[in-house]
Chain A
């Protein structure tokens, strides 16, 4: 097929016009003085995107970018100094912190909950006791008609079919937190498979990413799987009510998530886990997620922008959390983090 020569010229002309018009159409910045690049966890990716975009648009000479590559990759990039900041759902181990010469300041900026979503035709509300949901993921509770499930759901018409458990195929912070909770409430689970971001699940089909689990659960009747609350909320997936330490059956929500984190006491390094919250109205599976910053930054302007960014996130930024399915930080926690901002130089 021969394309006439003049079409090439026309195409180049069009392309140039497009490139020039884009310069005008985009946000008019007089050349960004400071550019920050971050990478890491996928759990907070939506809210980080939102915050960084809002902040960049509000400040003329700043461009902040974040790419989700996984907590492990983020920590590696942070240690290699190929990024300006990173994010991790698993904080950092002391060994990893020791490898960063410039010092690490971990900042928990937001939190989230993990929910169990299910697809059982006709069942609108599902209450799962501890025994039931640990059993499901251990493979000991095999059918929807198991007594452990029927006991807590009187009057609900549960089918006799096999439970199709959906777990994550890829390693992720979400899995890390979920297995941490299961290990905390069950010695059997802690022994095998235990807490890990890619454990050897004894049962379950594996799907990649939150979206993979969601798709699997949505398309296979009789399934149950674990995903982030924000995901379930946006996709309007049914969520199970889980029994917490006090024996109450709590539905996932911003309020129940905050109740889980309200009682946490952050130590000096700002790393704290809540594998099994004690409060009466607390949803049992909640976690912080951390931003990793260097204590000593090579460029003082970058440090300044980072401090401004974190301040914004801790004040106005928290208002965006709920709409996206994340938990606004408890006040006590926010205050401690605010104090730590000064360590970023």
Chain B
């Protein structure tokens, strides 16, 4: 690494060459990413073309998937994908941002400090460091949720979540069945267990990235708010969150992507039924789960139909991102205010 003296001089020949070369390298790799993305999309679309020619747009509006009669359509799957991902995003964001705030705004440290005060250890050389350590520990624990394999989430959902929520679902359906959300009965795998597990899967992404964004907010902004008389939460809502909003939205985009494309866990939990229903307890199907279930046994000539479904998923992700970008553009720029 060059010293300060070397930097302040005009760049030497090697430094200038390295600079240009490095910038070219970065640009080259960006082109590489673009090319990879294009190749991936092309391969899938090309494989889908025969099926597109054969089934046309009826594929998108029908509700029957019958391999025997060669009738294929994926409207239930499109509905299931969007419904499950949006619901999971709502819950995941709520809990994820809450956890990010808890970890970044010092609440953990306060709680631990209060505990230490009780035993009068808060200034101890070793125990005094505990608040910071606990914050790191909790942060690592939440990131650990991201490390659990999809298959394990699926099994956990089957063995723990479904038996857990079944009594409550029966009661809700029996008493409040007139509300469309509770319209059907939970017979095992269904939308609700899938949404619960999916929210837990995307939560660590939002928390980890959100925490990073919150920690990046300059302290003086917060201090300025306190100085004006804001309570802790007024400062958070009025100053910290808006400033960190861009980073948090980045986390939300990644989380939404993950929710749309989640394969294994949903294949086990969503019930794989070709129904369109608003009910939380009804089984449903998603595009990714359909792919996971149908691909292994698909004979080479059935693959085209599945690739068509994959193309539709890509298009949905694309549209969702376009809409999301507009939303972010309108809200985040207002929230962020001037960059200091």
**Chain A interfacial positions (CB closer than 8 Å to B):** 1, 69-73, 75-76, 79, 93, 96, 164, 166, 169-173, 193-200, 205-209, 212, 215-216, 219-220
Contact = CB atoms under 8 A, between A and B. Distances in A.
Given A206-B273, A207-B188, A215 B158 contact: yes
Contacts of A200: 64-68, 274
Given A70-B296, A164-B187, A198-B294, A212 B136 contact: no
Interface stretch (B39-47, B202-210, B213-221, B297-305): B297-305
B157 to A, nearest CB: 11
B297 A197 contact: yes
B86 to A, nearest CB: 23
B168 to A, nearest CB: 16
Contacts of A196: 67-68
Interface of B: 64-69, 133, 136, 154, 158-159, 162-163, 187-189, 267-268, 271-274, 283, 289, 292-300, 302
Contacts of A75: 299-300
B135 to A, nearest CB: 11
A209 B264 CA distance: 12
Contacts of A172: 297
Contacts of B66: 193, 199-200
B188 A216 contact: yes
B12 to A, nearest CB: 35
Contact of B267 (A169, A194, A199): A169
A138 to B, nearest CB: 14
A212 B268 contact: yes
19 contacts: A71-B297, A76-B299, A96-B300, A169-B267, A169-B272, A170-B297, A198-B293, A199-B66, A199-B67, A200-B66, A200-B274, A205-B188, A205-B271, A207-B268, A212-B268, A216-B158, A216-B189, A219-B162, A220-B187
Given A169-B267, A171-B294, A206-B271, A72 B299 contact: yes
B269 to A, nearest CB: 9
B272 A72 contact: no
Contacts of B69: 194
A156 B271 CA distance: 32
The 6 closest A-B pairs by CB, nearest first: A70-B296, A171-B297, A169-B272, A72-B297, A170-B293, A194-B68
Given A205-B283, A206-B189, A220-B187, A171 B298 contact: yes
Nearest to B300: A76
Contact of B133 (A1, A72, A169): A1
Given A172-B297, A198-B294, A219-B163, 15 more contacts: A72-B295, A72-B300, A79-B300, A166-B188, A169-B289, A170-B293, A170-B294, A173-B297, A194-B68, A198-B297, A199-B66, A200-B67, A205-B283, A207-B268, A220-B188
A205 B189 contact: yes
Given A73-B295, A170-B267, A205 B67 contact: no
Contacts of B283: 205-206
Contacts of A220: 187-188
Given A1-B136, A206-B271, A171 B296 contact: yes
A107 B328 CA distance: 60
Contacts of B293: 169-171, 198, 208
Nearest to A88: B297
A93 B300 CA distance: 11
A76 B57 CA distance: 28
A79 B303 CA distance: 14
B158 A198 contact: no
Nearest to A164: B187
Contact of A207 (B189, B292, B296): B189
A160 to B, nearest CB: 16
Nearest to A215: B158
A172 B298 CA distance: 9
Contacts of A207: 188-189, 268
A209 B293 CA distance: 9
Nearest to B266: A208
Nearest to B133: A1
B67 to A, nearest CB: 5
Contacts of A69: 296
Contact of A70 (B274, B297, B300): B297
Nearest to A175: B297
B169 to A, nearest CB: 13
